[in-house]
Amino acid sequence: MKRFVRAGLRRLRGSAQISPAPMQRTSTYSEPGNQWYYPATGGPSSFIPDVVGARTVRDAQTIVEGLSSDPYLDYIRNFYRAGLQTFGDNWVYADINTVLIGLARRLRPESYLEIGVRRGRSMAMLASHAPECRIVGFDLWISDYAGMENPGPQHVRNELARIGHTGALDLVTGNSRETIPQWFAEHPEDFFDIITVDGDHSSEGARIDLENVLPRLKIGGALVFDDISNQWHPELVDVWNDFLGRHENLAGYSFSEVGYGVAFAIRSR
């Protein structure tokens, strides 16, 4: 047994089991020639105080107030007010807004990829806490999406300008099943600190998006997946759980108590 353990540690120290993906700057530890653990220093549990709760909801509320209005955003504003009024500092709540704020606050990302940009709300959450972050977004910008105006890339640029984003911004129009592989083929050096998948909500489409982006997530980085308890897309929680089960280098956290639910995972290697 001891020989087996020592052999495993030798393999780890030699980095034979560690991906060639780069390490996230703030959430990994590397000691070349003496690497006993995988490089990630924290799993999802370490991020829970940053992404769940009234403090981060209030932060999201402030950002929402500065964005252009639409029916869904108006509802979120009112929902936040109701939850905070009822539960105050004891409110246990999370959504894609709070998760992206908390992850950005802790990881201080230099690069971010998002599938499913729409009006730029979730992108603005991250950018508000990482104003110099390089952002790449993918969307079809379908007209009248979910019964609401969907103005397109220039609107997204305007929204990010509202919250002070100054980093590079690339917005790519098209089906992510095609545009993501094409982007990575043309940008082989691209890896990301945080990636959000919130585009195609079919089981197959969501699975393909997750599989396509995972190789480009930095070690110690976070992968965010929205709508795991959305009543109109009950299949997405199974997509997420199956995805985690097939990738041993991911540890995940999910919030599904109220709202549409959200999940994220940290890449360990």
Give the domain CATH number at 198. Answer: 3.40.50.150
Residue 88 is classified by DSSP as: G
What is the rounded average pLDDT for all residues in the chain?
A: 92
Instruction: Look at residue 82 and tell me if it is in a domain.
Output: yes
* Residue 14 in domain: no
Q: Is residue 7 part of a domain?
A: no
Whole domain around residue 117: which residue ranges? 39-267
The answer to the question of residue 22 being in a domain is: no
- Identify whether 27 is part of a domain: no
In a domain, 24, yes or no: no
- Specify if 15 maps to a domain: no
Q: What percentage of the chain exceeds 90 in pLDDT?
A: 88
Task: Give the span between the Cα atoms of 195 and 216, in whole angstroms.
Answer: 9
Q: What is the pLDDT of residue 19?
A: 67
pTM: 0.93
**54-77 pLDDT tens trace:** 999 999 999 999 999 999 999 999
Q: What is the pLDDT of residues 218-239, one digit of tens each?
A: 999 999 999 999 999 999 999 9
Q: Of 133, 97, 127, 160, which is closest to residue 24 (Cα–Cα)?
A: 133
Per the structure, how many domains does the chain have? 1
Q: 3-state DSSP call for residue 48?
A: helix
Strands (E), 151-261: 169-173, 192-197, 217-226, 250-255
